[in-house]
Structure 1
Amino acid sequence: MQLNDRKSMPLFPISIVTELTELTARQIRYYEEKGLVMPKRSDGNRRLFSFYDVDRLLEIKELIDQGVNLAGIKQVLRMKLEDPQVAQKSVEEKQPSEKRDLTEKELHNLLRKELIEAGYGSKSSMIQGDLSRFYH
């Protein structure tokens, strides 16, 4: 038996897949309903997932964490079947650019702005020097 044949064998019940992927059973059933994953069914009508199904669920989870919606995930998975290099480039373009670290001054300005917007910067809500304890 070849490795690819073994990876496509339906082996795992949904309880094991939830542990492997850290997705809920409801999420997995939802992705099945949307056609993103297609587990086989046992004689007792239980879902059985292959290694490939688990890999796909992990990929879906990663895309969701990156902010890609279901329509985008379907597109990426479709493109991946056609040309894996194009799909990777598409995902990289859709991802927000890497977040950079804020300087201390930028962080202080951001905090000051948020405090003022929340009403803590006005003279009526705070004594004049109260914000100074946040900024030195």
Structure 2
Amino acid sequence: MGRENRRSSELRRSMPLLPMSTVMQLTELSARQIRYYEEHDLIQPHRTEGNRRMFSLNDVDTLLDIKDMLEQGVNMAGIKKVFDMKKNPAVLAAQAKQELSDSELRKVLREEMKMAQGQQKPSLRQGDLSRFYQ
């Protein structure tokens, strides 16, 4: 996809088109939950002249990401950290450069777990990821 197409696609995805009721149906979140995530600056919906929230497709994607993380047991502090990392220029550059495949990610995690076991210390991720290696 050319640069213009990417820019045009991103512009469409960021357009505030969806009212709260539609976003609630799409995400299966309550209005209260959505407002809570807004209060924590995880989403920034556009406000109409009548002060109604209007959401973009990017906002819906963000809400679905938050919902997935909560279902996986990540708390709000963890979710905020993930979103802060996503905004970090170094992380963005690494993502743009190359996405890790699932097999590469598993290899890195296995190596980290081996090193941690050799030092008799739990890996930082071991508690969270042990469910994948049972």
TM (normalized to structure 2)?
A: 0.64
Looking at structure 1, the residues matched to 61 and 49 of structure 2 have their Cα atoms a distance apart, in angstroms, of 24
RMSD between aligned residues: 2.6
1:1-136 matched pairs, under 5 angstroms: 2-82=8-88, 83=91, 93=125, 95-98=128-131
Q: Percent identical across equivalent pairs?
A: 50
* Contact kept in structure 2, 1:14 and 1:49, CA below 8 Å: yes
Q: CA deviation at 1:74?
A: 0.5
Secondary structure (helix, strand or coil) at the match of 2:38 reads helix
- Consecutive unaligned residues of structure 2, counting only runs of 5 or more, are 1-6, 110-124
The alpha-carbon distance between structure 1 residues 4 and 99, as it changes in their structure 2 partners (threshold 3 A), is: closer
Looking at structure 1, the residues matched to 13 and 73 of structure 2 have their Cα atoms a distance apart, in angstroms, of 29
More helix by share: 2
Matched positions, count: 98
TM (normalized to structure 1)?
A: 0.63
Structure ID, larger Rg: 1
- Consecutive unaligned residues of structure 1, counting only runs of 5 or more, are 102-136
Q: CA deviation at 1:98?
A: 2.3
Looking at structure 1, the residues matched to 47 and 27 of structure 2 have their Cα atoms a distance apart, in angstroms, of 19
